[in-house]
Amino acid sequence: MAWLDAHAPFDPDSYQASVIGIAATLGNHDSGVHQHQRGQLLFTRQGCTRITLAQQLCLLPPSRAAWIPPGVAHRAVMQHSVDYRSIYLLPELCAELPHHVCVIAVSPLLRAVLEAIAHSDFGTDWQQGRFVHLLGLCLSEIRDAAHQPMLLPLPHDKRLAPLLSTVEHLPPELQVLEAQVGASGRTIGRIFQRETGMSYQQWRQQWRLMRAIELLSTGRNIGYSTFELGFSSDSAFIAFFKDMTGFTPGTWLK
């Protein structure tokens, strides 16, 4: 285990052990686009992490973990202070785990196992003693965990480049997007349905939900979130959030 130095790049592939775990607290950190030969499970204990993939945005709020298979290029951005645990697994250990990036719920058992692995020495022999059982539990919990809807597919049609170049900002209304990209609403709708499986309005609402969770997880209040996400009132934002998640923002945070 290591407490990560925010200024020094960490390369899990440079170690021999089959499992490498780290415990870290980082603030305003940007990993840049990179990839590992190992699979990675990234667990956010506190704070929120945004992971950018080739054709997806992934949001990692508190108490969730992202599974990133070996060889998948990604970029992790941590705003404010993020307390997290990360484990890296050799490819042969990943055979029965998902072959695509996913966000999973972290059970109390998986949370405890991740803590133990993150604090284990880099030279640990994971084929001996209690470590065999820790690793077996970890793999089983990852494999069986419930998936969370924290992934936003991105269209790759070149006509939508103006939208994706500002994807961190609130996506515009459809009629504004039509003027920006020079395509009709019907054409835009077909592109989104074909490339994301959603209509533009559904995609925009999913973006708003993920951004809302990101804002709330990093300490922004209801009023700020309402303004940032283009809602007419706090009550409209709260109703939207409850409709999308089944919870009010305050209940969700608890």
Give pLDDT tens digits for 136-187. Answer: 999 999 999 999 888 999 999 999 988 888 777 899 999 999 999 999 999 9
- Is the pLDDT score of 254 beyond 90? no
Closest alpha carbon to 44 in 79, 5, 6: 79
HSE of 183 in the Cβ direction (CA atoms, 13 Å)? 18
Cα–Cα dist 180/33, whole Å: 28
Question: What pLDDT score does 10 carry?
Answer: 82
* Model pLDDT for residues 2-60, shown as the tens digit of each residue: 445 555 568 999 999 999 999 988 888 888 899 999 999 999 988 889 898 988 999 88
pLDDT at 225 over 50: yes
- The average pLDDT across 217-231 equals 93
pLDDT averaged over the chain? 91
pLDDT at 208: 94
Tokens 């965990």, located at residue: 145
Give the global pTM: 0.84
The span from the CA of 161 to the CA of 87, in Å, is: 35
**Domains in the chain, CATH or no CATH each:** 12-148 (2.60.120.280), 154-253 (1.10.10.60)
Which tens digit of pLDDT belongs to each residue from 59-71? Answer: 888 889 999 999 9
Q: How far apart are CA 214 and CA 48, in angstroms?
A: 6
Interior/surface letters 66-75, b for 16+ CB within 10 angstroms, e for the rest: bbbbbebebe
For 253, half-sphere exposure in the C-beta direction (CA atoms, 13 angstrom radius) is 17
Report the percentage of the chain scoring pLDDT > 70: 96
Round to whole Å and give the CA distance between 5 and 46.
18
Q: What is the pLDDT of residue 103?
A: 93
